[in-house]
């Protein structure tokens, strides 16, 4: 697949239902309250122009959320429809988000991958990302449902 076979564009709230269904149907992606329509809308408003979708003939086939905290960038929920995988779409989404983050002055980007997500681990390692062994992620829910 060449770049002419798919288009990348900034994710809009109008994409939510389609993108949420894509995430829900992608093994390795865990969805919670932070992925509600209201939370994603707030995310996109707070980080405009950092998240992208991929389309083939007008149909959304891939998506990636991206944001930053002024120091580090973060990628979330990379997903591509199974029948569109191995065509460079995921890599193109990542590169577009990284370019946007770099243009903002962000020098380092992190992605969180569940340990049992073998396909995700292969993708990120195969794309030159390094797995950190020196840190652990700790989480604490301050509202129910997270």
Strands laid side by side in the 52-56 sheet: 7-10, 52-56, 59-68, 73-80, 109-111
Distance CA 146, CA 4 (A): 40
What is the biggest distance separating any 2 CA atoms in the chain, rounded to whole angstroms? 45
What percent of the chain is predicted at pLDDT more than 70? Answer: 96
Q: What does the pLDDT average to over 110-129?
A: 94
Q: What does the pLDDT average to over 100-124?
A: 95
Predicted confidence at residue 113, as pLDDT, reads 94
3-state secondary structure of 66: strand
- pLDDT tens, residue by residue, 12-57: 999 999 999 999 999 999 999 999 999 999 999 999 999 999 999 9
What global pTM score does this model have?
0.92
Alpha carbon separation from 72 to 95, 107, 129 (Å, rounded): 16, 7, 15
Asked if residue 1 lies in contact with residue 88, where contact means CB atoms within 8 angstroms, the answer is: yes
Distance CA 98, CA 144 (A): 32
Predicted confidence at residue 146, as pLDDT, reads 62
Q: What does the pLDDT average to over 67-92?
A: 97
Asked if residue 109 lies in contact with residue 73, where contact means CB atoms within 8 angstroms, the answer is: yes
- 141 pLDDT tier (thresholds 50, 70, 90): confident
Q: Name the one residue in this structure whose structure tokens are 């002419």.
A: 4
What secondary structure letter does DSSP report for 110? E
């Amino acid at each position: 697949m060449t770049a002419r076979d798919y288009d990348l564009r900034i994710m809009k709230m109008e994409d939510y239902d389609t993108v949420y269904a894509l995430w829900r149907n992608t093994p390795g992606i865990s969805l919670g309250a932070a992925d509600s329509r209201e939370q994603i809308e707030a995310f996109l408003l707070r980080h405009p122009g950092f998240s992208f979708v991929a389309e083939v003939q007008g149909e959304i086939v891939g998506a990636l959320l991206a944001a930053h905290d002024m120091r580090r960038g973060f990628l979330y929920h990379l997903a591509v429809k199974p029948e569109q995988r191995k065509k460079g779409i995921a890599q193109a989404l990542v590169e577009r988000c990284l370019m946007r983050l770099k243009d903002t002055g962000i020098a380092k980007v992190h992605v969180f991958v569940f340990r049992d997500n073998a396909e995700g681990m292969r993708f990120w390692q195969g794309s030159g990302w390094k797995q950190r062994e020196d840190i652990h992620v700790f989480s604490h829910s301050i509202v129910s449902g997270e």
